[in-house]
Amino acid sequence: MGIFFQGKTEYKAQSLQAIAWKKFRKNRQGMFLLCFLGVVALLAMLGYLITPDSTPYANEQILEIRLQKPFSKVTFLQLQKQQHIKKRNLFDKMLNGQPSLYHLVPVSKYWLSKDSIYVELLNEVPPYNRASYGRATAQIVEKNYYLGTDRYGRDVLSQLIIGARVSLSVGFVSVFIALIIGVFLGAVGGYFRGKTDEVIMWFINVVWSVPTLLLVIAISFALGAGFWQIFIAIGLTMWVDIARVVRGQVISLREKEFVEASKSLGFKSLTIIFKHILPNITGTVIVVAAANFASAILTEASLSFLGIGVQPPMPSWGNMIKENYGYIILDYAYLAIIPGIAIMLLVLCFMLLGNILRDVLDVKGENS
């Protein structure tokens, strides 16, 4: 009877997942949000392969073209660099970028002869603005800046795409760390109860009582500001929500018949927790994880804005707002508004997706 009941329970859990997936596929808003996240993730993954500026950190600074408006087109004189620069393979370029093989000189006017290129340099005064180069060592190229350039002459679109990589990476890694800690502590405390639960709840309440941002800042100071440090700092502060939810769900399931059947069959406690109880609360954990993903993105942007998150020259949306918020009252407000809109859309997407998942995964009544 125990074996039959256990198999029936597992079959029912699989049926609930199948029903939830069918409901999600019929939800147009959910599929649109999932496609939007897929596009953002694809752009972030391809990274330097598709950015107009493929140099490391999208940090090619050309001060002569600083603060160009969106959809600007600039003409450059392209000169081969003297030092040897090794070309990276496709995978290495996708992850780390490719140092520029050329030196770009912006020009306002140019004309060609048989063997020479004559140019008038941008932002130079006569007669120092004119120069000539051999056509064998130089050529004229044009670049489009679809979102303009910042105060350092960097391409804003490239910075935005690489910044998406940082935000999504922080979300995934931080939520993964939070899930490991939160699910384990919440499940152990909820299942064993007694002194074990009291100790875990005391620890949860202590962490819960400290404001999240202040705790992240304290951990960041302890670990040092940097890319990987911010992942760990955020992950070590987000597990509390998950632990509380998992604990409550485990407490409600530990007295169910299939748990009693598993005990009577001699299964170990950890086997019952991780193979029989946790699969039944996967939907709840997914919903909480989606909300925490949005919270991680906001926290990373806040820390970068304060200067203790991802450090320059690595681009992040929080850094972009920090560097350009002074232009909000000027004619270049879009430099701070564009990354702000990107943060808003990504966070809103995860919050709406979490709400949809909550409704979709509530299918027990349909299968009872």
For residue 4, what pLDDT band results from cuts at 50, 70 and 90?
very low
343 pLDDT higher than 70: yes
Could you report the per-residue pLDDT of 267-307, keeping only the tens digit for each?
888 888 888 888 888 888 888 888 888 889 998 888 888 88
245-249: long-range contacts, CB 8 A cutoff, minimum separation 24: 245/186, 245/284, 245/285, 245/288, 246/182, 246/183, 246/186, 246/187, 246/190, 246/281, 246/284, 246/285, 247/185, 247/186, 247/187, 247/189, 247/190, 247/197, 247/200, 247/201, 248/190, 249/190, 249/281, 249/284
For residue 5, what pLDDT band results from cuts at 50, 70 and 90?
very low
Mean of the pLDDT values across residues 311-329?
A: 88
339 pLDDT higher than 90: yes
For residue 364, what pLDDT band results from cuts at 50, 70 and 90?
low
Is the CB of residue 235 less than 8 Å from the CB of residue 172? no
Length of the chain measured in residues: 368
331 pLDDT higher than 50: yes
Residue % of the chain over a pLDDT of 90: 32
365 pLDDT higher than 60: no
16 pLDDT higher than 70: no
Could you report the per-residue pLDDT of 158-182, keeping only the tens digit for each?
999 999 998 898 888 999 999 999 9
DSSP 90-137: HHHHHHH----SEEEEEEEEEEE-SSEEEEEETT--TTTTEEEEETTT
Structure tokens at 236: 């070590």
Q: What is residue 317's predicted lDDT score, i.e. its pLDDT?
A: 93
Is the CB of residue 88 less than 8 Å from the CB of residue 98? yes
Between 25 and 311, where is the model more confident?
Answer: 311
Closest by Cα among 23, 36, 128 to 365: 23
Mean of the pLDDT values across residues 137-141?
A: 84
For residue 125, what pLDDT band results from cuts at 50, 70 and 90?
low
Q: Where are the domains of the chain?
A: 2-43+157-367, 70-151
Q: CB count, 10 Å around CB of 7?
A: 11
Q: What is residue 181's predicted lDDT score, i.e. its pLDDT?
A: 93
Spatial distance between the Cα atoms of 166 and 333, rounded to a whole number of angstroms? 23
Spatial distance between the Cα atoms of 16 and 363, rounded to a whole number of angstroms? 6
Spatial distance between the Cα atoms of 368 and 348, rounded to a whole number of angstroms? 33
Ranges assigned E (strand) in the chain:
72-80, 102-112, 116-121, 130-134, 138-145
Q: What is residue 148's predicted lDDT score, i.e. its pLDDT?
A: 93
**What are residue 107's DSSP bridge partners?**
75, 121
Is the CB of residue 276 less than 8 Å from the CB of residue 262? yes
Closest by Cα among 104, 97, 98 to 65: 104
Could you report the per-residue pLDDT of 200-245, keeping only the tens digit for each?
999 999 888 888 778 888 887 887 767 788 888 888 888 998 999 9
Could you report the per-residue pLDDT of 30-86, keeping only the tens digit for each?
788 889 999 999 999 999 999 999 999 999 999 889 999 999 999 998 888 877 888
Spatial distance between the Cα atoms of 324 and 94, rounded to a whole number of angstroms? 27
363 pLDDT higher than 60: no
Average pLDDT, the chain: 84
Spatial distance between the Cα atoms of 82 and 308, rounded to a whole number of angstroms? 37
Q: Which CATH superfamily is domain 2-43+157-367 in?
A: MetI-like (1.10.3720.10)
Spatial distance between the Cα atoms of 134 and 357, rounded to a whole number of angstroms? 63
Spatial distance between the Cα atoms of 187 and 248, rounded to a whole number of angstroms? 9
The sheet carrying 72-80 orders its strands as 130-134, 116-121, 102-112, 72-80, 138-145
